[in-house]
Structure 1
Amino acid sequence: MATFSSVSRQHILQALAEHDTRGGEQFSEVYGFGPAQDYALVHEGHRYPVQAILGVAHRFATGRLAPPDEFNSDIPSAVAIVRKRGFEVSEPPSAARVTPPRTPRAARTTRTPVTRAAAARDIPPAICPTCSMTLPATGICDDCG
Structure 2
Amino acid sequence: MTQQHVLQALAEYDARGEEEFLDVYGFVRSDDYPVVHEGRTYDSRAVLGVAHRFATGRIATPEEVASGFDGAVAILRRRGFTVTEPFFAPTGTARTARTTRAPRATTLRASTATRTPTRRVATAPERAPSICPTCSMALPGTGVCDNCS
- Whose radius of gyration is greater, 1 or 2? 1
Fold-level similarity (TM above 0.5): yes
| Cα distance between partner residues in 1 of 2:76 and 2:109 | 25
- Residue from 34, 42, 52 that aligns with 2:46: 52
> Contact 1:28–1:35 (CA<8 Å) still a contact in 2?
yes
- Residue from 6, 9, 12 that aligns with 2:6: 12
Distance change (3 Å), C-alpha of 1:25 and 1:97? same
Unaligned 5+ segments in structure 1 are: 1-6, 107-145
1:77 paired to 2:71: yes
Unaligned 5+ segments in structure 2 are: 89-103, 116-149
Q: TM-score, normalised by structure 2?
A: 0.60
> Contact 1:50–1:78 (CA<8 Å) still a contact in 2?
no
Partner of residue 121, structure 1:
none
Q: TM-score, normalised by structure 1?
A: 0.62
Report SS of the residue matched to 1:33: coil
Partner of residue 86, structure 2:
92
Distance change (3 Å), C-alpha of 1:29 and 1:83? same
The percent identity for this pair of structures is: 53
Q: Which one scores higher on RCO, CA 8 angstroms, separation ≥ 6?
A: 2
Partner of residue 28, structure 1:
22
| Cα distance between partner residues in 2 of 1:81 and 1:66 | 15
Letter in 2 for 1:85: R
Letter in 2 for 1:35: R
| Cα distance between partner residues in 1 of 2:80 and 2:27 | 23
